[in-house]
Amino acid sequence: MSIRSVLLAATVLAIPAAAMAQAPNQPINGLYIAGGAGYNWTQNVDIKNSNANLHGSGGLAAVASAGWGFGNGFRAEVEGNYRGNHYSLHNAGGVNGGGNADNYGLMLNGFYDFTWLNLGVPVVPYVGAGVGYQWTQLSSVHLAGYPGSQRTEGGFSAQGILGAAYALPVPGLSLTAEYRFMATVENETFHYPAGSIKIGDQYNHAGLIGVRYAFNAAPPPPPAMPAPVAAPAPAPARTYLVFFDWDKADLSARAHQIIAEAAQNSTRVQVTRIEVDGYADRTGTAQYNVVLSRKRADNVAAELVKDGVPKNIIAIQAFGDTHLLVPTGPGVREPQNRRVEIILK
């Protein structure tokens, strides 16, 4: 496949391929203008009606454009451009010669800005491609039989563009840096009284620094207010009470909930020991109440282990009808004294 075909295909395919991702940031939306200048260099140009070719030494490049951003990363623009080169004649059978070539023309370009990329700096890369018409003006040509008079011919052209824009402090204003590859895709013939010079395709490389201004760019957002400091979550409780029916050691549904909460919170605080202390009211004998309070404490400890608490950090104690939560006389059925205390330490 020839480079001419590649360039024309790139014009159609480059931008849609680059736009596979959506741009959620702030792309250009509306009218903008841009300009830039830099250095260009044209590869050797063949003279088709001889074995000679022209070697370029590079020179000034400049572009100016006006375009429209569609608010989704896509842009389209019209560009005017200029490139200047000096050529020297090679492979001409000992004949010396050379001259100047000024290229200028109009291009229709399409771009895609990668505004969705987060590079940590205000830089937006972009790609572009364009087609248009370029004129080549030969002047000061000194070849055997060809006077130094000026001749101008034109042909269709295509270009590919890689660039990046750096946002300046002024809203809408950006500094740009670009690499451009342009090719004329038609041979050009320059007619002189002594004959004609037919040159082949011209392949040009240019590096440009410029500025771009978008007219309706939104001003930067105001500085964000500091987020309110959330109040720290309350620390988990370290003591839990499990109550029992009279003369019972069975765990109620509410008791299961309290034990599960204690087990869960034991993983959220620094715990090296969990005390499980059983108690009874004063309705039985002291010896009976110690046995009953032990059963209650054993059942609670077993449920803690089921809920994931390591057995080796649990210490079980039975206090019977001592250490009453509510002081009473003998034989009083006080619900708050029929309990087990879970203490996280």
Please tell me the pTM assigned to this model.
0.55
Do 270 and 131 lie in a common domain?
no
Give the pLDDT of residue 107.
Answer: 96
Residue 228 belongs to some domain of the structure? no
Domain around 171: 3-214
Closest CA to 337 of 276, 283, 281: 281
Do 170 and 248 lie in a common domain?
no
Residue 201 belongs to some domain of the structure? yes
CB atoms within 10 A of CB 235: 9
In the chain, the amino acid numbered 182 is M
Do 182 and 83 lie in a common domain?
yes
Do 205 and 254 lie in a common domain?
no
Give the pLDDT of residue 269.
Answer: 80
- Residue 6 pLDDT exceeds 50: no
- Residue 17 pLDDT exceeds 80: no
CATH number at residue 276: 3.30.1330.60
Do 264 and 339 lie in a common domain?
yes
Give the pLDDT of residue 26.
Answer: 79
Contact 107, 131 (CB under 8 A): yes
Q: Of the ranges 23-37, 166-180, 225-239, which is most confident?
A: 166-180
Alpha carbons 279 and 262: distance in angstroms, whole number: 18
Q: Of the candidates 167, 199, 214, which is a domain's last residue? A: 214
In the chain, the amino acid numbered 40 is N
Alpha carbons 245 and 333: distance in angstroms, whole number: 10
Do 185 and 253 lie in a common domain?
no
Residue 225 belongs to some domain of the structure? no
Q: What is the pLDDT of residues 241-259, one digit of tens each?
A: 999 999 999 999 999 999 9
Alpha carbons 174 and 26: distance in angstroms, whole number: 13
- Which residues, in sequence order, are CB contacts of 203 under 8 Å at separation 6+? 3, 42, 43, 181, 182, 183
CATH number at residue 196: 2.40.160.20
The DSSP annotation for 256-294 comes to HHHHHHHHHHTTTS--S-EEEEE---SSS-HHHHHHHHH
Do 276 and 175 lie in a common domain?
no
Alpha carbons 65 and 116: distance in angstroms, whole number: 24
Do 8 and 112 lie in a common domain?
yes
Tokens representing 187 are: 């041979």
Pairing of strands 53-56, 59-70: unpaired
Do 144 and 105 lie in a common domain?
yes
What is the pLDDT confidence band of residue 13, given thresholds at 50, 70 and 90? very low
Closest CA to 211 of 94, 62, 70: 62
Q: What is the pLDDT of residues 141-150, one digit of tens each?
A: 555 455 555 6
Q: What is the pLDDT of residues 98-138, one digit of tens each?
A: 678 888 999 999 999 999 988 888 899 999 999 999 998 87
- For the chain, how many structural domains are there in total? 2
Do 296 and 155 lie in a common domain?
no
Backbone angles phi, psi at 183, to 5 degrees: -135, 130
Question: Across-strand partners of 65?
Answer: 34, 79
Q: What is the pLDDT of residues 314-334, one digit of tens each?
A: 999 999 999 998 999 999 999
Q: Of the candidates 214, 249, 277, which is a domain's last residue? A: 214
Give the pLDDT of residue 318.
Answer: 94
Q: Can you say how many angstroms the Cα of residue 21 is from the centroid of all Cα atoms in its chain?
A: 11
Do 259 and 114 lie in a common domain?
no
Do 13 and 157 lie in a common domain?
yes
